[in-house]
Every structure is written in structure tokens, then in C-alpha cells.
Structure 1
Amino acid sequence: MMLANILIIEDEKKIARILQLELEHEGYETDVAFTGIKGLEKFKDGTWDLILLDVMLPELSGLEVLRRIRATNSAIPVILLTARDSIPDKVSGLDLGANDYITKPFEIEELLARIRACLRNVQSHPLQMEVLTFQDITVNEKTREVKRGDESIELTPKEFELFIFFIENKEQALNREQILTKVWGFDYYGDTNIIDVYVRHLRKKLAIADSLQTIRGVGYRLKE
């Protein structure tokens, strides 16, 4: 019984083949692309439940592929495969809307666990089709538009997800673990200070510095 359809976009053919064999052994259906452009073509032509995306790709970088995927599909889980171990690269990927990342070399068992976690998260949190409001700000979860009156406010995918989480939990003190798990995923092992960076972005872009409060020793609270 097939669990999900997974697209592997990886230019190292040996790694791609190993991933394909391991995933198919677990019951997943897979396809492989070896370049960024071919990966985008297969993404557009197929129906996928998850994408494994290498960052360093020929023709089109993995981050550019991710950006283009997110321009048309905000829901499909994307796990980045990267040989880079620097925080800026990981932050860039998450900022563009990646659900998770794993650094090469990795154990296949860990990758399989991350895949299961991403798929569970999608199943338990289906995309909402409604408009949320906070003060004079409206947020359309379907079109991912954020507006104050007629003025559009541009948010990155992670900023958008973080703001949605705050709105859905207005007046509640949210600790860092809750925020990381919901917005960055259960398997995120990066620096928790990333939350502070994104909160600063939201306060500035949305002009809600007084409403998005810091709860010392805990986390944050969005207050009307």
C-alpha cells in the first residue's frame, strides 16, 4: 500500500537512487529529477504529497526552485537536503517556506522520520479556507493575502505562518517550544532565537509592536 507520492530533486545520481530505493521499500511512490528545471517540470506535471529538494542543483538552485513552488503551492511539504551547515543557508530555506531540512550526510532513518512528521502535520492541519482578522488587519489563508484596509502587506511564508499562529491563539502566552513546533516543525533543531528575529519582522511590517508582547522567560502573546 502506497503511503504518499514523493518527488526527489537531487543532482547526485547515487544519492538519488539510494533515496528512491529506500522510500519505495517503505511503500512510497517516487520520481526523480536531477536538475532544478526538470524538478520544476515534474512538480507541475505531477501530484505530490512531499518534495525532497537538494539545495545545490544545476540549472536552477534549490532555493529558487522552492521559491517558485511556493509561488503556486503553499501547502505541499518540502524538506531541503543540503551539504551546507551554515545557519544563513538554513534560515533562507525556512524563510522561503521549507518545512524542514536535513544536512548531508544523514542517516536514512532520520530522514524517514522527518518525512513522516511532515506528512502527519499536513494531515492534522489541513489548509484553512477562511479570513482571519486582528484589529484592522485581515488575513486570507487561501490566497495568503495580508491587508490593512486596501493596503497589502508583504509577508514571507514563515512570517505568515507565525502571524496565523498568533491570531489563532490571541490572548494566550505561547512558549518557544509551542511556536517552534507549530511554525518550524517538530524536528527543527536550530537556534530558538530565530523566533525573536521573525517577531521583530512582524512588529515592524504590521505595526503591532504594542500588541505583540514579550512574556519574559516564556515567549510571546498577541493581545487585542
Structure 2
Amino acid sequence: MDPRPERDARGLVLVVEDDRAIADLVGLYLRREGFGVQVESDGASGLAAVRRLRPVAVVLDVGLPGMDGVEVCRTLRAEQDWTPVLFVTARDDEVDRILGLEMGADDYVTKPFSPRELVARVRTVLRRSGIAPGREEVLQVGAVSAHVDRRRVQVADAEVALTSTEFDLLVHLMRAPGRVFSREQLLSAVWGYAASAGTRTVDVHVAQVRAKLGPGNPIRTVRGVGYAADAS
């Protein structure tokens, strides 16, 4: 596409979408919000653009020709590239399958979607992944420590790589040890939208955090209610 992507104070968002009409619409709304936009139409070009341009976020269609969006995201995470990724999926029944794959997507929207909602989701993902200035906040629950400002998590002395969404979910629980949060409360606090988005999203991300933290995982399931972080 354009070899000189637009830049802006809010940063560059890479849109990887093979439907030009959708890509143009998404780009229009992102630009209205002050983002720079670069569009690529296939997975291989999108992957190369992430490596070359270092965008602040990627809006990534799942059903791309050649290398699909799932493979693009999996490749980035394997390279330890944790650029926030928002999936665009064609059907609701793809969501559990995609989020169940532990390749590290941060959020998703399903087609047809509201461009305003997509932009709001991008802003939410970026807000979660931002680093706040000031004195460092360090949380400790059991063997797990979270360095909030540096966005680092350790189990004992071993660092664990989490996506921005996984990190914020863990930190939200760790800030109130022992308190039980419902799935709806977690959706609102971490994802920034209502329970209509589907509480299954919370379950999938909790499972991913637990798998990454291993035996030191402090997240406890409270049957019929939700989740809590406990030291025991």
C-alpha cells in the first residue's frame, strides 16, 4: 500500500483487511479520532508492516488470503511482539475458537460491526497497554508479582509474558486480593464494555493467564460467581 504511512500524535494503527470497502471505512473513523492509518490487504504484507512500522495497534481480519489473521498473530507472539491486536471476525461462532487459541489477541469485533465501536475498542486496548508515569506500583499475591508501571509479571524470579489484556485482568484481581469479581464486573473494568459482549471472553483469558503463570497462579474460581486472586 502507501509506502509512507500517515503518522499522528495518537500513533499509527495498522489495518489488515482484504475487503477494501471495510478497510476504507475503518481507516476513515480511525483518522477522525486522530490516528495515523496504514492499510494492508493480506497476512504476509500485514506481518511485514508490523515489523517495519511498529504500529501502536493492529486491526486484523481473521479471514485473510494466504496467511490468515490467526497465523499472523501467532507469529508475532512467537517473536515476542506484544503489539495490541484486535481481531475482526466473520461469525460469532469463530470467537471461542479464536480466543481459545493461545496466540494472544487482545480483543475482537464481529462483522457486521459499528466503526465507532471498533475505534472505541482500539482506544480501550491502547489505554490498557499504556505505561503510566510516577512511582512504580508493585503488587504481590503469593508467588506472583506485577510491576504495574513496567507492565511486567514474575512468578518467583521468572518473568512471564502476558498480553496487555491478560496483564490488566491479572492486575485488576491482584489489586483486591480475596475479593470475588463477577464476570460482568471484569468485562466492565478490564475490557470497558457491557456484559452483552459475552462473559466467555473472561473465562478464556483467565484460562490463558493461569496456563502462563503455571503452579504459582493465584486466580481462584468461585463457582457460580466469578474469580478472585488469593495468596493461598
Match of 2:44 in 1: 37
Secondary structure (helix, strand or coil) at the match of 1:171 reads: coil
Distance in 2 between the 1:23 and 1:194 partners?
25
1:132–1:73 CA distance, 2 compared to 1 (3 A): farther
Distance in 2 between the 1:206 and 1:132 partners?
18
Distance in 2 between the 1:138 and 1:63 partners?
30
Identify which range, 28-37 or 15-24, moves more after superposition. 15-24
Secondary structure (helix, strand or coil) at the match of 2:119 reads: helix
Match of 2:4 in 1: none
Aligned ranges 1:19-168 → 2 under 5 Å: 19-70=26-77, 71-74=79-82, 76-86=83-93, 87-92=95-100, 95-123=102-130, 133-136=140-143, 147=155, 157=163, 162-168=169-175
Aligned CA RMSD, in angstroms, stands at: 3.8
What is the aligned residue count?
217
Identify which range, 29-38 or 105-114, moves more after superposition. 105-114
List gaps (5 residues or longer) in structure 2.
1-7
Deviation string 1:100-136 (CA, Å, 9 cap, x unpaired) is: 211112222222222233333334768xx99865434
Counterpart check, 1:187 vs 2:198:
no
1:16 to 2, 7, 23: 23
Identify which range, 55-64 or 165-174, moves more after superposition. 165-174
Aligned partners of 2:187 and 2:193 also within 8 Å: no
Aligned partners of 2:74 and 2:103 also within 8 Å: yes
Amino acid at match of 2:70: L
Deviation string 1:194-214 (CA, Å, 9 cap, x unpaired) is: 5445556738973469x6444
Amino acid at match of 1:69: L
Aligned partners of 2:43 and 2:72 also within 8 Å: yes
2:13 to 6, 13, 16: 6
1:131–1:14 CA distance, 2 compared to 1 (3 A): same
Q: What is the TM-score when the length of structure 1 is the normalising length?
A: 0.72
Distance in 1 between the 2:103 and 2:167 partners?
11
1:137–1:43 CA distance, 2 compared to 1 (3 A): same
Secondary structure (helix, strand or coil) at the match of 1:72 reads: coil
Distance in 1 between the 2:127 and 2:31 partners?
19
Shift of 1:54: 0.6
Shift of 1:81: 1.2
